[in-house]
């Protein structure tokens, strides 16, 4: 059994979180609230350090932080935009916060627009348009053929401008089959990912905490 | 003007991000993009302050009014304050088993560790892992109640889920051999079958879904940039 206080804290919190499998109880609620508090504080502190201190204050006022180099006041505009967002807390200044929000919405939209085109559309098209016949390689031919067939039939299922009847109904039905296989596989891999994390926690309890098993 | 100025800001900031793709080697455009990205990150942190203030205020209100379960709000506020204090004191960036602080590299699982890294390793990591894994039980029990092999679609969904699950564990391959499936499929096993399912039909269907999502994102972005969609203004009287 471990003599480390940290291991004991981690073990008791793990058991408290697992107790929810029985029913909602006092220990689970305590663990849940600790988790919300710790994770939000952690993310907030990390952002304050990386974005506010490193990217803004350290660049704008390097001498205040005993850093060499000339001051760069450009990042302070980012702070001003941030203050505009916060201005919604002051009654009567709500419309100013829209300016800050508009900047964030605009730059995120710009990133997202080309990210979707380059990352999703072009790359996916590249993987879809492949040779349907690969000489002397039956496995690659089957793989490419099934992949292209699956993509086009699945896409056809989402085409609602035509009634899914007749030959088109057959195509969309095939698309549904591909989608069902995909959902099943996604479900299976999600369950197994979560299970492997659970096994990790159980190994921690039995090995690091209790020392019953040796991994 | 209350609507025109934000719409203009959206258009200019969005366009600056887009123009860079067309003129990648123009220093002014690239510089503007970098500056906007930096401003955006800083502004988003201020937006986070708004969210954190909301979290703290709603919890403080419940404590002040002694609402049912207020003691849990005290626990939340206490854990927030403690973590925030120590995490701000030590600039923490998790990197594997070690932390990098502004005072140098913090120790790993052995030796002296700062209190902030202890909170991360002994409180955050076990709780996030356990709560994340709890979902497995609920999706498994929900699936047990909902999945019924009533038609061909349901059978396909069930069988691909079972194959992928069996393909992830050593027991699956033993079962494959015990069932004598090796004689039918050659020297293959559930792991191979699971990989094939994920690489061919799953990726094909996911590709189709991704096309839909990407086109949706593109058209939504164009609507926002051109001012057709102004939902980011929010409701309210002003």
Q: Which of B44, B198, B218 sits opposite A104 (nearest CB)?
A: B44
Q: Is residue B124 part of a domain?
A: no
Kindly report whether the global pTM for this prediction surpasses the value 0.80.
Answer: yes
Tell me what pLDDT residue B3 has: 81
Crossing angle of helices A166-203 and B190-197, in 10° steps, is: 130
Q: Is the pLDDT of residue B219 over 90?
A: yes
Q: Is residue A40 part of a domain?
A: no
Alpha-carbon torsion angle A118, A123, A129, A135, nearest 10: 140
Whether the Cβ atoms of residue B227 and residue A171 lie closer than 8 Å to each other: no
Tell me what pLDDT residue B99 has: 53
User: Cβ B84–A45 below 8 Å, yes or no?
Assistant: yes
Give the residue numbers spanning the domain of A182.
130-208
Q: At a CB cut-off of 8 Å and minimum separation 6, what does B191 contact?
A: B167, B168, B172, B173
Q: Please state, for a pLDDT cut of 70, what percent of chain B lies above it.
A: 88
Strand partners, B93: B100
Domain final position from B67, B93, B108: B67
Q: Is residue A24 part of a domain?
A: no
A192 interfaces chain B, CB cutoff of 8 Å: yes
Q: Which of B12, B39, B55 sits opposite A40 (nearest CB)?
A: B55
pLDDT in tens, B109-148: 444 567 888 888 899 999 999 999 998 888 888 888 877 8
Tell me which chain B residue has its CA closest to the CA of residue A101: B232
Q: Is residue B188 part of a domain?
A: yes
Q: Is residue A14 part of a domain?
A: no
User: Cβ B140–A121 below 8 Å, yes or no?
Assistant: no
Q: Write out chain A's pLDDT in tens, 215 residues.
A: 888 899 999 999 999 999 999 999 999 999 999 999 999 999 999 899 888 988 899 899 988 888 888 999 999 999 999 999 999 888 888 888 889 999 999 999 999 998 889 888 898 888 888 999 999 899 999 999 999 999 999 999 999 999 999 999 999 999 999 999 999 999 999 999 999 999 999 999 999 999 988 76
Q: Is residue A13 part of a domain?
A: no
Q: Which of B131, B211, B221 sits opposite A112 (nearest CB)?
A: B221
- The ipTM (two decimal places) reads 0.83
C-alpha distance from A165 to closest chain B C-alpha (Å): 18
B109 interfaces chain A, CB cutoff of 8 Å: no
SS3 B228: coil
Give the residue numbers spanning the domain of B174.
147-238
> Which element (helix H / strand E) includes B105?
strand B104-105
Would you state the structure tokens that stand for residue B201, as one six-digit string?
């039909």
Tell me what pLDDT residue B109 has: 46
d(CA A180, CA A172): 12
Residues of B in contact with A38 (CB under 8 A): 79-80, 83, 119, 123-124, 127
Query: How many independent structural domains does chain A possess?
Result: 1
Query: How many independent structural domains does chain B possess?
Result: 2
d(CA B138, CA B217): 31
Q: Is residue B131 part of a domain?
A: no
pLDDT in tens, B171-182: 888 888 888 877
User: Cβ B17–A111 below 8 Å, yes or no?
Assistant: yes
Q: Is residue A180 part of a domain?
A: yes
Tell me the residues of chain B between 13 and 32 that have a Cβ less than 8 Å away from chain A: 13-18, 21
User: Cβ A33–B79 below 8 Å, yes or no?
Assistant: yes
Q: Is the pLDDT of residue B106 over 70?
A: no
φ/ψ of residue B75, rounded to 5: -60, -45
């Amino acid at each position: 059994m471990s003599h480390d206080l940290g291991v004991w804290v981690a073990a008791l919190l793990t058991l408290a979180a697992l107790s929810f499998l029985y029913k909602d109880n006092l220990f689970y609620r305590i663990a849940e609230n600790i988790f919300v508090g710790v994770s939000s504080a952690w993310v907030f502190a990390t952002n304050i350090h990386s974005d506010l201190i490193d990217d803004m204050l350290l660049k704008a006022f390097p001498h205040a932080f005993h850093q060499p180099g000339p001051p760069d006041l450009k990042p302070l505009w980012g702070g001003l935009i941030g203050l505009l967002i916060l201005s919604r807390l002051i009654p009567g200044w709500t419309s100013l916060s829209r300016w800050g929000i508009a900047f964030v919405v605009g730059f995120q939209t710009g990133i997202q627009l080309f990210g979707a085109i380059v990352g999703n559309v072009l790359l996916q098209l590249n993987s879809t348009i492949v040779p349907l016949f690969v000489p002397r390689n039956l496995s690659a031919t089957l793989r490419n053929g099934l992949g292209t067939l699956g993509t086009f039939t699945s896409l056809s299922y989402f085409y609602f401008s035509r009634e899914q009847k007749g030959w088109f109904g057959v195509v969309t039905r095939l698309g549904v089959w591909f989608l069902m296989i995909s959902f099943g596989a996604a479900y299976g891999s999600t369950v197994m990912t979560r299970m492997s994390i659970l096994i990790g926690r159980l190994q921690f309890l039995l090995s690091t905490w209790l020392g019953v098993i040796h991994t | 003007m209350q609507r025109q100025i934000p719409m203009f800001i959206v258009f200019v900031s969005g366009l600056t991000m887009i123009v860079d793709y067309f003129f990648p080697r123009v220093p002014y455009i690239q510089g503007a993009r970098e500056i906007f990205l930096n401003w955006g990150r800083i502004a988003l942190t201020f937006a986070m302050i708004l969210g954190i203030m909301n979290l703290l205020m709603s919890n403080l209100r419940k404590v002040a009014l002694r609402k049912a379960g207020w003691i849990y709000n005290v626990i939340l506020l206490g854990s927030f304050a403690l973590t925030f204090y120590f995490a701000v004191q030590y600039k923490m960036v998790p990197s594997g088993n070690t932390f990098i602080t502004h005072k140098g590299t913090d120790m790993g699982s052995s030796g002296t560790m700062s209190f902030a890294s202890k909170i991360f390793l002994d409180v955050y990591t076990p709780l996030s892992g356990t709560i994340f894994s709890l979902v497995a039980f609920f999706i498994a029990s929900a699936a047990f109640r909902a999945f019924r092999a009533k038609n061909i679609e349901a059978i396909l969904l069930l069988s691909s889920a079972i194959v992928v699950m069996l393909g992830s564990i050593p027991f699956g391959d033993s079962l494959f051999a015990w069932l004598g499936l090796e004689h039918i499929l050659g020297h293959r096993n559930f792991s191979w079958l699971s990989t094939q399912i994920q690489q061919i039909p799953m990726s094909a269907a996911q590709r189709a879904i991704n096309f839909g999502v990407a086109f949706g994102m593109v058209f939504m972005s164009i609507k926002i940039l051109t001012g057709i969609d102004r939902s980011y203004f929010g409701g309210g009287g002003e």
